[in-house]
Structure 1
Amino acid sequence: MRILRWIGVILFGLTGCVLAFLSVGGAFATLQQRYEAWWGFLLLGLPLAAVLLGTAWALGTGQRVRPVVGTLLAIAALVYTLALAGITIAASTAVARARDLFAGLAFVPVAMFWPAPVLLTVLAGALLWKQGVRLAPYLFAGIALGWLTGWAGLWVVLLGSASPSRPIDRLGRVAEPSLWESWTYRLGLLMHPEAWPVHLFFLLPAALALGLGVLGSRRR
């Protein structure tokens, strides 16, 4: 068992170091080329590198592996959830300002990135199950808040630019909708059946994170 433990230390440690080096190196190289996406390398690579290095540390020092790795995975899930919320708000702003037919493709990165925080949240919840980690409820509450932030930001941006059709009077003037008409129209869009999948896209992971936070705070 001791040999297997040290093999795990070496594997996790080397993999974490390589991933951290690639993340920092990729960010530095991108920054040298004056691209604005240099932070993406740090955001994607460093949380996972921290999980790998933390696992190696727990194995090497004889610490309880499940609480340590579960906590690190929850932190990584929180970082990725906040990143997804930011990407969602940025994509919503771009779509609201654009008049292109294919502007909705800005949401493709959001859909592609969605499995990452969800998977990490589930793994963290499985490892922290009844472990009694005091930090767990706060981490999962932060994850849920991140999903709610992305959901709220999406609708605030999109519905803020939506307005009902404005009729034209006999003099050719466009009649401005009243405040009541504008809010009624936006509320109708929010409750429309076509919007329900979008609500589930954000609210189901938020509910999952809250549930896992409650379970993770309990002891055996």
Structure 2
Amino acid sequence: MKKSDSELQRDVMAELEWEPSVDHADIGVAVNDGVVTLSGYVGTYPEKMAAEKATRRVAGVKAIAEEIKVRFASQPKTADHEIAKRILDLFSWNVFVPADRITVKVEHGWVTLTGTVDWFYQRNEARKAAGRISGVVGINDLIKVSEMPMAHDIKDRIVAAFKRQANLDAKSVTVVTDGGTVKLGGSVKAWNERRIAERAAWSAPGVSRVEDNIVVSF
């Protein structure tokens, strides 16, 4: 009886796992109409040949597209699953990142972050941490900031934060709140003052969005 592609894929993976001379952990197996594609990495060229030989032993294999690369121990580990694991490890070590609330997906070096966090700084820290991993070519940040109940004095808190900043004239910045959204207006004398105002707004509890309409007047 002819094997389905999924059955053939399972058998090839089992044979690679059975073969003692092959470390199958970094080898991917895909099957399309009996044609097996091997991808991933191995440590030596003989191991690469052993993986191909093991695949040919499996009944039902019509052809093999062999795309396995030899990567020595000294070379950086930049396979997608390795990048994902290193990002997750970095999240677990970072006290500012709620690792259990963020999902990581890596495809051809592109990292997609999803999930929901309580604070903007947590989202920002997760994005920065993922960007520090070698092999990452880009980040798609889809993390959402949850809308927590905002304190009734949210505007007062933001204004107070403005006043604590030595480089910001609090009177020149206007603050309007609408649910979880904070709208900033007014004018400042430098871009740095605008960044200070926006950072202060994001640090307030319950803020899920900041609309920065502050004008820089030189």
TM (norm. structure 2) is 0.26
As a proportion of its length, which structure holds more helix?
A: 1
Q: Which has the larger radius of gyration?
A: 2
